[in-house]
Structure 1
Amino acid sequence: MLFSILYNLCFQLSAATMWSLFAVDMKYALEEHEQHRLCKSSAYMNLHFKVKWLYTNYVKDVPPYKGSVPEYPSWFEPFVMQWLNENDDVSLEYLHGAFNRDKKDGFQKSSEHALFSNSVVDVFTQLTQCFDVVSKLECPDPEIWKRYMKRFAKTIVKVLIAYADIVKKEFPEHLKEERIACILMNNIQQLRVQLEKMFESMGGDRLEQDAANILNELQQTLNGSLDELAHQFACSLEPRITASVKELSDLLSAIKGGGHTIGAAQPPGAVAAEADEVLRPLMDLLDGSLSLYAQSCEKTVLKRLLKELWKIVMRILEKTVVLPPMTDKTMMFKSLTDNAKNLAANTKIEDMSRLFKNHMTGKQDVKNALSGVMDISKDFEKNLSPKQCAVLEVALDTIKQYFHAGGNGLKKAFLDKSPELQSLRYALSLYTQTTDTLIKTFVTTQINEDSIDGQEGSVGEVSIQVDLFTHPGTGEHKVTVKVVAANDLKWNVPSGMFRPFVEVNLIGPNLSDKKRKHATKSKSNNWSPKYNETFHFMIGNEEQLDCYELHICVKDYCFAREDRLVGVAVMQLKDIVEKGSCACWLSLGKRIQMDETGWTILRILSQRTNDEVAKEFVKLKSDIRQENPLA
């Protein structure tokens, strides 16, 4: 027993002494090698493993080293970092080789049940081998180990970002080969899955924070790359979706009945049957495509595709069916000849063909004018009747259920809250609103009507004074408008008289039984006329003054002919409600400016040919100054 104790003491003393001497020599030798790098990094790594073996087997439990952090990992840290740096190039080269082999083989699945290809497996095999080498060092210094993990995390980032970049570069070439496109998207998703496993192997929640942040950012980058590919793939299907939606639109437009009655009730069974028939072209396309994607895509990839397809379908339905683009949404009568324009600008839309027939004499002008009218009428024919709106509402619910797929597809919350569906439903809701509601919406949403087109410039200005009064008892409003003068009117008259006058229109809801228009007397051949005329408008108490505006036109009076527009300005009462009055000069433009909502409302109201308020509103807002007035 005593002999055994003495032997162990001698052994420990000898081991400690030998390690102490060995450590001094090794440390100085490695410091010299750090300066000159006399060997390959693999040689230093092999030496590292041998030193680790020596320390672990003979020194680790010997006083005074027992329980302490050894020094040797710090000797080898520069060389391990060198090896990790070199491994970047090795891994990237391996990546390119693996992807090229994969591409040559047609991106075959890595196994019978896998939905991704071999290159993903090969890339992570290489990264795992690298990690295994570093792990087997069993670095006992936690700070140095953290630095190794941070450096290795950067290697992972380089390799996986490079793979994602290659896929994104190659992806457009394979959009028509849907099987391959799905596999490439699955590959990016599999990178994310394998990255999560690698993260856990490196320590998971215990991983050094800097390294964890690097990998988390990489995960988000790959997530963005997958979104980008899914969006790109879905967009490649847009022409096919557009074609099927156009068929849907044709079927919908063929549905008759319902007239223009707002809120007309429709039999539920009949509407559902018509909705199914209308949806047939779109559903035929989606059934075939989504069945293929369900079989070919990872679940996460499929859901991303569904989201992108949902957005595209909703957007195309809105732009093709609910809000089809007009022939020219900046100038309704652009396609007419100059002579026809002058007549068309100041006439009622529904009576335009009659006006042309009565006033046009040149055959070519008539032909061109009627061609323009036909284009405009086609635009208005694209508007939906209440019955067609009801059918489309049912069709939207069916499409939503299809994308939800009984819980296997997109969540109902996502579908209901998606901006695309909300935008479509809002546009659709406009068709079933009353004229007063639509005019109120127009006034409250069109905040830049009086902005002057930079290319067209101002055509003059008009001075007005507005005073607002609200009866304290009844809540009814009174708007007093004094037209003071006009100034610097730009209007060329080839021959005849120029007789400018100012027309003031009150626009807003609940005015059908109220006086809505006043006009000053005309002034002969005066380009800066003074008027000093006062008008009064009465408004009920149903709405606030914020819902009203003054539409002010300067026109050239023409005997036995429509008066010609010189310029137009708009003053919204909400801008002066707080002050209660306003005196100002308003710049005159050639036409008012409208956004998509404004054009939609104008087009919907243009259908209501039996509604005097709607016809008057459409005429005012579509009126455009013509540059070559007839003599």
Structure 2
Amino acid sequence: EEEEEEEKKEETQPEEQGPSIQNLDFWPKLITLIVSIIEEDRNSYTPVINQFPQELDVGKVSAEVMWTLFAQDMKYALEEHEKHHLCRTSDYMNLHFKVKWLYNEYVKELPSFADAVPEYPAWFLQFVLAWLAENEEVSLEFMHGALDRDKREGFQQTSEHALFSSSVVDIFTQLNQSFEIIKKLDCPDPSVMAHYNRRFAKTITKVLLLYCTILTRSFPSYCEKEKTPCVLMNNIQQMRVLLERMFESMGAKQLDTEAADILNDLQVKLSTILDNFSVIFAKSFQTRINGCMRQMAELLYQMKGPPNQNTAEADADATLRPLMEFLDEKLSIFADICEKTVLKRILKDLWKLVLSSLEKTVVLPQSNDSLGAQILTAAKGLSNLKGGEARTLTPKQCVVIDAGLETIKQYFHAGGNGLKKAFVEKSSELASLRYALSLYSQSTDALIKTFVTTQHSQVHDGMGIRITGNEKIRPDGSGVGKPVGEAVLQVDMMLGKERKVNVRVIAVNDMKWQTSGMFRPFVEVSMAGPFLADKKRKFTTKSKNNSWTAKFNETFQFILGNESADCYELQVTVKDYCFGRADRVVGLAVVQLRDVADRKSCVCWCPLGSRVRTDETGVTVMRILSQRPADEVAKEFVKLKSETRPAEEGR
């Protein structure tokens, strides 16, 4: 009986397990066994056999044979595991560390392996990438937790000297811990390490950009608190600093190109996000700044008399007082709680806001209407400043603003601690304001000349007008994508002593116009340019009944002023005549005489557009002219350039 029981015990005892795709238990045991064999060969046989002349190192021979056989089995086993992934990624990572230790301890220094890149990192590549993918999920979860915790605590600074809050530090601590594990693999294969770095760079990008996305959604709601948005911007800046350090620890210049590009691209995106935050934060002060500007405008408009350079600086200081009090209050706070880089960004955006508001509120006041609406209002001789006459700056007031600009520049430069002088001088806002001031003192003729000589893309981006020798030579197509019609004009230049231009309105073809009533198209032809105040500037054809392609064949003669033909342009406005109410614009075209001046006679085929479009210079000229309601030429020019085809057409 005892013998039978022993046999049963032997049968129930499990045999020593071989390799399995269910687990990795076999391989650490095999490594332990290999190590014991190599150690025994090294310690027991080498001292004895080394006595012979050939100095055979049995330990090294044993290590080489064992590793070669082990490598073959390990590689095939991991290929099988790769198909099924039945074990945890952490188990594969642990096995990777054991294999690395075996190689470094017994194989690395062998003559046949000394100069070769080992193969074992490539066996584990997919498992390490899988671990990195899992780690990404952990990192994202950790980021959410760190951000929620930080939010509950009110985004407090981590210490007196650190201007950022805890979430940034926590996130990078976790990311660095993750990368430390990769670094401890001591991967000797650069191509495999490149894969690790690329994958981890994507994790860093995903975590940091998601953090920024969450902050972006809530950032505007924090702007009332002043301190919190500064801390959040400091957080983004600190991210950029810590990202640079991580870039260094990952190898910096030795880093794989693709991984480096991913991290460099992330750095650019973080910089853009910081820029956007700064713009949003600065714009939260827009209403306050506009209020300061209105107070400044009232102080400025009270300054009468001739220009006086001796008192200009004192007058400017008095005018700027509301703005300077506001800036002093805010910037003293920002200087204490913002990182230097963040403060510079806020200063840049406040500088742009201040100058833009100065131009739009004081120099060229705007109403709440669209530019077209306010210009039309001004053109009708009404005020575009509520409760009074349209105000224009006197020469004295222009001098005061000029002096005030110098004060504002010095304030933002702050003796070298603020914005660089080069940035201030080259800023487009300063150029625009200076240009507006320079145009302010110019005559209406000079301003119209500036408009005509700079605005070459008023209708259809200046494209589409075809010029032929006579009306019988018809060009192909319309010249542009979707014209609302085509005006055909003959222009005869007679630039002798009398400087005359004859314009024959031949026809308007293929007008796009829907109306439920009678359609009665007619054409207005206007000449725009300097020194035309005492000359006829507009002619009108007779109207045609229900004709969408209408022949007019009417000729008009304009007399130019004493400037070159380049300073003049014809505007053709096709309208639908309406009895008892305003005529409606069907479409318009602009022919600049510079394009036809070298021809004595030609025919222009002009695709009609819905309105005139201008650049910043054109808008500035229009605003200044719109503030001259007593000037008939200015009023007429502004009205001409503001006419627009209605969206509802003729219905």
TM range (shorter): 0.7 to 0.9
Counterpart among 392, 396, 402 of residue 383 in structure 1 = 392
SS in structure 2 at match of 1:517: coil
Counterpart among 589, 592, 597 of residue 577 in structure 1 = 597
Q: Quick one: distance in 2 between partners of 1:70 and 1:529? A: 88
Structure 1 residue 303: deviation in Å? 1.2
Q: Quick one: distance in 1 between partners of 2:325 and 2:67? A: 78
Counterpart among 287, 305, 309 of residue 350 in structure 2 = 309
SS in structure 2 at match of 1:468: strand
Is 1:596 the counterpart of 2:596? The answer is no
Per mean C-alpha deviation after superposition, the further-off stretch among 26-35 and 312-321 is 26-35
| Correspondences of 1:112-127 after superposition (within 5 Å) | 112-127=160-175
Q: Residue 4 and residue 136 in structure 1: after superposition, are their counterparts in 2 closer, same or farther (change >3 A)?
A: farther
Residue matched to 1:431 = 440
**Partner amino acid, structure 1, of 2:623:** T
Counterpart among 398, 405, 409 of residue 407 in structure 2 = 398
For residues 550-603 of structure 1, give each alpha carbon's deviation from its aligned partner in whole angstroms, at most 9, with x where no partner exists. Answer: 578999xxxxxxxx9999997542242132334579999999988633432423
For residues 73-94 of structure 1, give each alpha carbon's deviation from its aligned partner in whole angstroms, at most 9, with x where no partner exists. Answer: 2222222112111100111111
SS in structure 1 at match of 2:224: coil
Residue matched to 1:158 = 206
Residue matched to 1:508 = 529
Residue matched to 1:323 = 364
**Partner amino acid, structure 2, of 1:303:** K
Is 1:256 the counterpart of 2:256? The answer is no
Residue matched to 1:279 = 320
| Correspondences of 1:606-617 after superposition (within 5 Å) | 606=629, 614-617=631-634
Q: TM-score, normalised by structure 1?
A: 0.75
Q: Residue 378 and residue 71 in structure 1: after superposition, are their counterparts in 2 closer, same or farther (change >3 A)?
A: same
Whether the 8 Å contact between 1:553 and 1:565 is mirrored in structure 2 is no
Q: Residue 552 and residue 26 in structure 1: after superposition, are their counterparts in 2 closer, same or farther (change >3 A)?
A: closer
For residues 27-85 of structure 1, give each alpha carbon's deviation from its aligned partner in whole angstroms, at most 9, with x where no partner exists. Answer: 33323332333332212212221221122112211232233222222222222112111
Q: Residue 222 and residue 506 in structure 1: after superposition, are their counterparts in 2 closer, same or farther (change >3 A)?
A: closer
Give the share of equivalent positions with the same residue, in percent.
49
Q: Quick one: distance in 2 between partners of 1:583 and 1:124? A: 71
SS in structure 1 at match of 2:499: strand
Counterpart among 100, 115, 118 of residue 67 in structure 1 = 115
| Correspondences of 1:63-462 after superposition (within 5 Å) | 63-258=111-306, 266-326=307-367, 329-330=371-372, 349=381, 373=382, 381-445=390-454
Q: Residue 204 and residue 335 in structure 1: after superposition, are their counterparts in 2 closer, same or farther (change >3 A)?
A: closer
Q: Quick one: distance in 1 between partners of 2:192 and 2:545? A: 90
Residue matched to 2:635 = 618
Q: Quick one: distance in 2 between partners of 1:525 and 1:213? A: 66
Whether the 8 Å contact between 2:503 and 2:556 is mirrored in structure 1 is yes
Residue matched to 1:367 = none
SS in structure 2 at match of 1:239: helix
Aligned CA-pair RMSD: 4.2
Q: Residue 164 and residue 450 in structure 1: after superposition, are their counterparts in 2 closer, same or farther (change >3 A)?
A: closer
| Correspondences of 1:467-616 after superposition (within 5 Å) | 467-470=492-495, 478-481=499-502, 507-510=528-531, 516-517=535-536, 535=557, 537=559, 539-540=561-562, 543-549=563-569, 572-582=592-602, 596-606=619-629, 614-616=631-633
**Partner amino acid, structure 1, of 2:568:** Y
Whether the 8 Å contact between 1:506 and 1:548 is mirrored in structure 2 is yes
Structure 1: give runs of 5+ residues left out of the alignment. 259-265, 337-343, 350-372, 452-457, 489-500, 556-563, 626-631
Structure 1 residue 8: deviation in Å? 6.9
Structure 1 residue 430: deviation in Å? 1.4
RCO higher in 1 or 2 (8 Å CA, sep ≥ 6)? 1
Q: Quick one: distance in 1 between partners of 2:71 and 2:503? A: 101
SS in structure 2 at match of 1:382: coil
Whether the 8 Å contact between 1:442 and 1:598 is mirrored in structure 2 is yes
Q: Quick one: distance in 1 between partners of 2:584 and 2:109? A: 101
For residues 332-368 of structure 1, give each alpha carbon's deviation from its aligned partner in whole angstroms, at most 9, with x where no partner exists. Answer: 79889xxxxxxx97xxx5xxxxxxxxxxxxxxxxxxx
**Partner amino acid, structure 1, of 2:622:** W
**Partner amino acid, structure 1, of 2:405:** L
Q: Quick one: distance in 1 between partners of 2:334 and 2:302? A: 33
Q: Quick one: distance in 2 between partners of 1:481 and 1:313? A: 49
How many aligned positions are there? 547
SS in structure 2 at match of 1:175: helix
Structure 1 residue 510: deviation in Å? 4.8
Q: Quick one: distance in 2 between partners of 1:195 and 1:130? A: 14
Structure 1 residue 286: deviation in Å? 0.9
Whether the 8 Å contact between 2:501 and 2:557 is mirrored in structure 1 is yes
For residues 468-505 of structure 1, give each alpha carbon's deviation from its aligned partner in whole angstroms, at most 9, with x where no partner exists. Answer: 2445xxxx6621436689999xxxxxxxxxxxx99987
Q: Quick one: distance in 1 between partners of 2:347 and 2:570? A: 47
Residue matched to 2:478 = none
For residues 419-474 of structure 1, give each alpha carbon's deviation from its aligned partner in whole angstroms, at most 9, with x where no partner exists. Answer: 122112112211111343123123334568899xxxxxx9x999975432445xxx
Structure 1 residue 124: deviation in Å? 0.8
Structure 1 residue 238: deviation in Å? 1.1
SS in structure 2 at match of 1:138: coil
Structure 1 residue 532: deviation in Å? 7.3
**Partner amino acid, structure 2, of 1:509:** P
SS in structure 2 at match of 1:381: coil
Whether the 8 Å contact between 1:231 and 1:305 is mirrored in structure 2 is yes
**Partner amino acid, structure 2, of 1:545:** A
Q: Residue 156 and residue 533 in structure 1: after superposition, are their counterparts in 2 closer, same or farther (change >3 A)?
A: closer
Q: Residue 56 and residue 271 in structure 1: after superposition, are their counterparts in 2 closer, same or farther (change >3 A)?
A: same
Whether the 8 Å contact between 2:447 and 2:621 is mirrored in structure 1 is no
Q: Residue 58 and residue 467 in structure 1: after superposition, are their counterparts in 2 closer, same or farther (change >3 A)?
A: same
Structure 1 residue 407: deviation in Å? 1.6
SS in structure 1 at match of 2:57: helix
Whether the 8 Å contact between 1:550 and 1:573 is mirrored in structure 2 is yes
Q: Quick one: distance in 2 between partners of 1:197 and 1:102? A: 23
Q: Quick one: distance in 2 between partners of 1:32 and 1:207? A: 32
**Partner amino acid, structure 2, of 1:145:** M
Q: Residue 234 and residue 23 in structure 1: after superposition, are their counterparts in 2 closer, same or farther (change >3 A)?
A: same
Q: Quick one: distance in 2 between partners of 1:175 and 1:554? A: 50
For residues 84-142 of structure 1, give each alpha carbon's deviation from its aligned partner in whole angstroms, at most 9, with x where no partner exists. Answer: 11100111111111111111112122222111111111111111111111111111112
**Partner amino acid, structure 2, of 1:618:** K
Q: Quick one: distance in 2 between partners of 1:485 and 1:392? A: 51
Q: Quick one: distance in 1 between partners of 2:272 and 2:561? A: 55
Whether the 8 Å contact between 2:505 and 2:555 is mirrored in structure 1 is yes
Q: Quick one: distance in 1 between partners of 2:72 and 2:503? A: 102
Q: Quick one: distance in 1 between partners of 2:69 and 2:394? A: 97
Q: Residue 509 and residue 65 in structure 1: after superposition, are their counterparts in 2 closer, same or farther (change >3 A)?
A: same
Structure 1 residue 509: deviation in Å? 3.1
**Partner amino acid, structure 2, of 1:479:** K
For residues 126-175 of structure 1, give each alpha carbon's deviation from its aligned partner in whole angstroms, at most 9, with x where no partner exists. Answer: 11111111111111112111111111111111111121112212312311
Whether the 8 Å contact between 2:107 and 2:113 is mirrored in structure 1 is yes
Whether the 8 Å contact between 1:468 and 1:477 is mirrored in structure 2 is no
Whether the 8 Å contact between 1:327 and 1:379 is mirrored in structure 2 is no
Whether the 8 Å contact between 2:444 and 2:633 is mirrored in structure 1 is no
Q: Quick one: distance in 2 between partners of 1:142 and 1:591? A: 62
Structure 1 residue 2: deviation in Å? 7.8
Residue matched to 1:361 = none
